[in-house]
Structure 1
Amino acid sequence: MENQHAILFQVNQEEFGVGIRYIQAIERMGNLKEISGLPKEVRGITNIRGEMIPVIDAGVILHHQPLSINEKSKLLIFSSNTGPAGLLVTEAKEMIEINEDDIKPFHLQADEFSGVLERNGQLIIQLNPDVIVQKIEGFEHISDQFEAEETAAG
C-alpha cells in the first residue's frame, strides 16, 4: 500500500493522529467567543484570517472534560459539510509519514476512530474529523446561531 502523512497531536497526556488529508491548517488558539446554546462539544467560535470558525473541544469529545487553553493549545482546522471547523487540542506535535498497512482497525463501537497505529512502542489512535462533526447534534446549525448573535450584538 501507499504511504500517507498524519499530524500527531496531544489531548491531555494522550497522543492521537489525524490524516493530513483532513487538515487545512494548524493555528494558535486565539480569542475564543463563547456562545450560549451551543452543543457541549463546541467551545465557541474564533476568528481565523477573517473567517469565523466553530471550535470543537477534543477534551470533551475524548475525555468528557474541556481542555485548558494555554500557549501550547492549537486548532487543527479542517473542512466539514457546513464549512471549516477547528479541533482544539492540547498540543500539535509533528507530521509523520506512515504506511497505510501500519494502521490497524479499531475494534470498538466508535466511528470517530479510524484505526490505531503503533509507533515507538506507543499506540496512537487515528481520528476521523468528518465523523466527529457528524456526531455533534445540531452542528450544522451553528453558523446560523453565531450569525444571529452577531446581528443581535451589532
Structure 2
Amino acid sequence: MVPLKVIVFQINDEEYAIDVRQVQSIERVQKITRVPGLPPFVKGVMNMRGEVTPIIDLKERFGMGPSQYQKETRFLIVSVNGVIIGLIVDTANDVIDIHQDQIEPAPETISGTDREYLKGVVKIGDRLFMMVHLDRLISLEELHNIQKG
C-alpha cells in the first residue's frame, strides 16, 4: 500500500494534516490587502507570484477566533477545487507518511460544521491529528464569491 504524504500544521495546540499533493508552497506571513464584503474568515488577498490569492484564516473558519501572527505563523498555499488559496496556520510542522488505514472516522463528539471539515483522525504513537477535508472547507460558491471580491 502506497503511503499518503501529509503536511502537519498547528492551530492553537492542536495538530492538523492535509494531503501534500494539495499544497503548492509554505510561505511566511506577507501583506494582505483587505477586500470589503467577504466573510470574516477571509482576511483578504495577496499577490503570490503574480496571482491574486485569497487568504483564509483557518482558526477563524474553525470558530476559534482570529489568528494572532507570530514569528512561526505560515501561509499554506493550497489548491481547493482547482482554485489557489492561502490558509493561515500557527506553524507548519513537518511532512510525514501515513497509510489510509491509519485514518479513523472523526469522533461522534465532534458535531456540526466542524465535523464536515474533517476526513478523520490519525494516531501515530502519542501524536493525534485531524485530517482536514480541504474540498469541504471552502464551498465552490464561497470560492466563486471570494474570487469576485
Q: Distance in 1 between matches of 2:142 and 2:6?
A: 28
Aligned to 1:130: 135
TM-score, length-scaled by structure 1: 0.85
| 1:39/1:139 contact within 8 Å kept | no
Distance in 2, Cα, partners of 1:143 & 1:131: 17
Count of matched residue pairs: 144
The CA distance in 2 between the partners of 1:95 and 1:10, in whole Å, is 13
CA deviations on 1:4-57 (whole Å, 9 max, x unpaired) are: 100000112111111112212111121011122111111111111111110110
AA paired with 2:105? P
AA in 2 matched with 1:95: V
Determine if contact 2:17/2:132 at 8 Å carries over to the other structure: yes
Give the distance between the partners of 2:95 and 2:103, measured in 1 at CA.
Answer: 16
Flag as ranges the 4+ runs of structure 1 deviating above 4 A.
Answer: none
Between structure 1 and structure 2, the one with the greater Rg is: 1
Q: Which segments of 5 or more consecutive residues in structure 2 lack a partner in the other structure?
A: none
Aligned CA-pair RMSD: 1.8
Structure 1 stretches lacking a partner, 5+ long: 146-154
Contact 2:22–2:80, Cα closer than 8 Å, also in 1: no
| Residue of 103, 116, 124 corresponding to 1:119 | 124
Alignment partners' CA distance in 2, 1:115 and 1:81: 20
